[in-house]
Structure 1
Amino acid sequence: MRLGHLGWLLLLLWSPPALAGESCPADLPGLAQGLVRDLPSYANRAYARYNLRTHLVVAGRPEFDPLPTGPGQLNRDLGQTAGTAVPNRDDDVKQLFFSTLERAYTPEGTQTVEQFHWLFLAQDAETWRLALLFTRTGARTGNPPLLTPPRDNSNGALAEAIRTWLRDCQAGYLRRTPLRSTPPQSIQQPQP
């Protein structure tokens, strides 16, 4: 059985029932685990709304070590490159790094693109919100690898997908398995 474009779109947009009562984790690792788990489906719906011929295949493991954002070279470079001020490093603004692997469909064929994201999330009493998102695009081949300068992606399709996920998380509407407040323990190797 062949599905037309409408059939694939319906399959892409279909989602199972919500998990009632699931709340958004207050800690960044728990929040990030759920975000990268669900990001491909949220991003692909946003890409469809923007009529982008791109498919997010997978989001990589998040990293949490913050980069300095105070006075210094990094802040100055990012502000000039993206035309946006980088948030100051406060306790209520958290940094999260993750990568995505995307498939772009062009008239010349399919291209695999790796994107590197620097996400700033602000937390107040009970909610998280996207404060800023920088993205760099990289080539999977080449020595040294080619990377574009960081660009402000705070109003792009991926940022919309993150905002939608945060809204659904805070409303208690998330799909699949419940979120854990801490990442799972690694499996220990048996002793010889």
Structure 2
Amino acid sequence: MIENWVNQQRKVLGTVIAIAVLANLPSSVNAETYINNRVCPADFPSLSKALAKDLPDYLNRAYIRLRIKREVMTISQPELEPLPLAPDQPRDRLPQQIFLSMLERQTGRSETSQRAYWLFVVPTSNGWRLAMAFMRIGQAPPTDVSDAAIADATNKWLRDYCDPRYQL
């Protein structure tokens, strides 16, 4: 009997909170727009800027989820000038390239390190997808991080913003 009362109180409280949140929204905004106003940028430069803006939050959540004790402090503006991969390949058939530099640190530490990321993204029928990702620290050779936290974070952002199957 007490469990039923507690469950009823939870439902009432949840409804009250939802009404309070919606009551504070401007009249021109409905709840659906407020909850999911994500839009995939139409052109590649806009897409790369929007990704760079949100990527630190996505990557920090990926680090937490994967129990990696690291956090992103800041990220550079994306560089889009592609490196030549295959000189005989038509440019429009190659994946789009995004270069990002991130300042990161171990959680709880003050020393920072700079990491450079090279992301290859391709358009698909379901929006943009990450094809490959590489990382470089200092003068070390690039490392394939296509299955690492950066790939997870990038894929989640692309899913949230550019995959029509996940849009309201």
* TM-score, L = length of structure 1: 0.62
Deviation at 1:88, TM superposition (A): 8.8
Distance (Å, rounded) in 2 between the aligned partners of 1:46 and 1:123: 23
Unaligned runs of 5+ residues in structure 2 are 1-30
2:20 is matched with which residue? none
RMSD across aligned C-alpha pairs, in angstroms? 2.6
Structure 2 residue corresponding to 1:166, chosen from 148, 158, 162: 158
The equivalent residue for 1:60 is: 76
Provide the C-alpha distance between the structure 1 equivalents of 2:161 and 2:66, rounded to a whole number of angstroms. 22
How far apart are residue 33 of structure 1 and its match?
A: 1.0
Are the equivalent residues in 1 in contact too, given 2:38–2:160 (CA < 8 A)?
no
Say whether the 8 Å CA contact 1:116–1:136 is kept in structure 2.
Answer: yes
Q: Which runs of 4+ in 1 moved over 6 A?
A: none
2: distance between equivalents of 1:26 and 1:159?
A: 22
Whether 1:32 aligns to 2:48 is yes
Number of positions where the alignment pairs a residue of Structure 1 with one of Structure 2 = 133
Q: State the alpha-carbon separation in 1 of the partners of residues 90 and 103 from structure 2.
A: 29
**Residues 30-179 of structure 1: pairs in structure 2 closer than 5 A:** 30-70=46-86, 90-91=92-93, 93-105=95-107, 109-125=109-125, 127-138=127-138, 147-170=139-162, 171-172=166-167
Identity of aligned residues (%): 39
Which structure has more RCO (C-alpha within 8 Å, separation ≥ 6)? 1
Q: 1:54 to 1:32 in 2, by over 3 A?
A: same
- Bigger radius of gyration, 1 or 2? 2
Q: 1:20 to 1:110 in 2, by over 3 A?
A: closer
